[in-house]
Amino acid sequence: MSATEWFQARLRSGEKSKVPVAPEGAAKSASKNAPKPSARPTAERLQATLRKADEALSPRALRRVLADLQAVIDPRVSEVEGGRRAHAIADAYRAATPDERRDYWALMSEHFAADAQKLKTARDQHQAAVGTPDEGQAELRLRRALVSPRMRLLQRFAVEPEGMRFLVDLRADLLPCLKADKRLLALDAELEQLFSTWFDVAFLELRRIDWDSPASLIEKLIRYEAVHDIKSWSDVKNRLDDSDRRCYGFFHPRLPNEPLIFVEVALVDRISAGITPLLDETAVPVPAARATTAIFYSISNTQNGLRGVSFGDSLIKRVVETLQDELPRLKTFATLSPIPGFRTWLAKNAGDLLPRLDEKREAELGRLVGSVPPTAERLLAAVDGAASLDAKSPLRQWLMQAAAEYLGRALVDGTPADPVARFHLGNGARVERLNWAGDPSAKGQKQSYGLMVNYLYDLKRLDKHRTWLAEGKVAVSGDVESLYFKKG
């Protein structure tokens, strides 16, 4: 079946295939629906005969699961046999209810930690050996003591071909429960540590995804697209059009048909100011050979279980290199990005921006909102329908200034407050331009009053911009800097 036939069949059947990764509010919703931890530690439950009301597995079943987990890392069995035993546990876990799965995590967390006494001894010996010829040997003993049985257990799950998929899904299950149950933090940290090694970019393959790719892979683009919803088969075909579009993803050998992250690129003749023309299926394409600018307009992570494992920076660099090899005329590499945290930030900080208005602007805004001086509440109410504001409106100017402040000066613990800005600025890009009505969709209005931003990847200045950010300074263009409010 061709991709076109497959999409037509899906559309005729009315089947919904869109499952965005980490949509707005998903984390909060998942946390609310997460299974609740038992009040008793597993050590106490294992000694009991009856379960309590908040416990999923009976003491007998709990003891059986613990024995199965311990058998996986039995030193008398080979790695292959340990992997086979782990595979059987994975099958049982998949068939378990959410509350029963929590019991699996609790057992892994509480019964497979590093030996506390051995760790203390090794740490004391290392501290005593610092600066002596025995320091290297003491460090080696400390490193060995830090390797928990839990780490070996998780490694055994990865022996089987489907083990990697299992562990990624297990962590995705686990993440929403961390806030409510701190006992799970060590298990989560070790999973993240393993994934950071197993999914290092050195082991990932960059592949282009186009209309000739398997239909099952194109379906995943629809499911995982997290920035601009794919509405139809013609929409996705337009995004994969060979003439002026490119799509690339990182793939892992153990998840061969599953893009871990993918980026959608438009080949154009200038930096784009709005998303609508880029998604317009009737727009006349710029021939790829004549394009001078590559616009990264959508980047989507697909695996919640790999949260904290960063490969977006490497993806963009690899894509830039690939595009430069294919299309030497490309000189400019930029994004057209949403500003997802802006409206929420402004609702909390509008009052702090008011004292930084000059007298003229304060009077103009006051007359428009019916309050001199203007109040934060009235200003926010006035800009709620931002799409209708005239180009010369002081309200529109104020909103653009506030967005510049948010992107260029709002830092949390030394990093940009906006999550998308944090990603691109952390990669060494700079805030290049703010675009009014860049995203007129309901989602764009809800997130940022419709504003979008271009981040420019100046390949010669990436390291310089990263250094600035480490020093608490955000790289911005002169146009964006000119929008800043005066210092308070």
Confidence category of residue 313, pLDDT binned at 50, 70, 90: confident
- Tell me the mean pLDDT in the region 37-48: 89
Predicted pLDDT of residue 385: 82
Predicted pLDDT of residue 346: 98
Q: Which domains does the chain have, with CATH numbers?
A: 42-113+148-199 (1.20.140.90), 202-337 (3.40.630.180), 342-483 (3.40.630.150)
Task: Report how far residue 200's alpha carbon sits from residue 136's, in angstroms, rounded to the nearest whole number.
Answer: 27
Task: Report how far residue 402's alpha carbon sits from residue 390's, in angstroms, rounded to the nearest whole number.
Answer: 17
Instruction: Examine the pLDDT at 277 and tell me if it is beyond 80.
Output: yes
Predicted pLDDT of residue 169: 97
Sign of the CA dihedral 411, 413, 416, 418?
negative
Predicted pLDDT of residue 30: 52
Predicted pLDDT of residue 34: 63
**Range with the lowest mean pLDDT among 29-43, 64-78, 205-219, 399-413?**
29-43
Predicted pLDDT of residue 35: 63
Predicted pLDDT of residue 450: 96
In DSSP terms, 77 is beta-bridged to none
Tens digit of each residue's pLDDT (9 = 90 or more) over 146-179: 999 999 999 999 999 899 999 999 999 999 999 9
- Structure tokens that stand for 460 in this block: 């010669």
Predicted pLDDT of residue 25: 42
Average pLDDT score over the chain: 90
Which residues are known to be catalytic? 337, 424
Confidence category of residue 388, pLDDT binned at 50, 70, 90: confident
Confidence category of residue 278, pLDDT binned at 50, 70, 90: very high
Instruction: Examine the pLDDT at 6 and tell me if it is beyond 60.
Output: no
Nearest-Å Rg of the Cα atoms of the chain is 27
Q: Higher model confidence: residue 343 or residue 5?
A: 343
Instruction: Examine the pLDDT at 38 and tell me if it is beyond 90.
Output: no
- Tell me the mean pLDDT in the region 57-73: 96
Shortest CA distance to 226 belongs to which of 447, 410, 29?
A: 447
- Tell me the mean pLDDT in the region 354-378: 93
Instruction: Examine the pLDDT at 243 and tell me if it is beyond 80.
Output: yes
Tens digit of each residue's pLDDT (9 = 90 or more) over 327-358: 999 999 999 999 999 999 999 999 999 999 99
Confidence category of residue 33, pLDDT binned at 50, 70, 90: low
- Tell me the mean pLDDT in the region 296-304: 94
SS3 of the chain: the string is CCHHHHHHHHHHHCCCCCCCCCCCCHHHHHHHHCCCCCCCCHHHHHHCCCCCCCCCCCHHHHHHHHHHHHHHCCCCCCHHHHHHHHHHHHHHHHHCCHHHHHHHHHHHHHHCCCCHHHHHHHHHHHHHHCCCCCHHHHHHHHHHHHCCHHHHHHHHHCCCCCHHHHHHHHHHHHHHHCCCCHHHHHHHHHHHHHHHHHCCHHHCEEEECCCCCCHHHHHHHHHHCCCCCCCCHHHHHHHCCCCCEEEEEEEECCECCCCCEEEEEEEECCCCCCHHHHHCCCCCCCCHHHCCEEEEEEEEECCHHHCCCCCHHHHHHHHHHHHHHHCCCCCEEEECECCCCHHHHHHHHHHHHHHHCCHHHHHHHHHHHCCCCCCHHHHHHHCCCHHHCCCCCHHHHHHHHHHHHHHHHCEECCEECCHHHHHHHHCCCEEEEEECCCCCCHHHHHHHCCCEEEEECCCCCHHHHHHHHHCCCCCECHHHHCCCCCCC
Predicted pLDDT of residue 447: 95
Question: What percentage of the chain reaches a pLDDT higher than 90?
Answer: 82
Q: pTM for this one?
A: 0.85
- Structure tokens that stand for 442 in this block: 């309901």
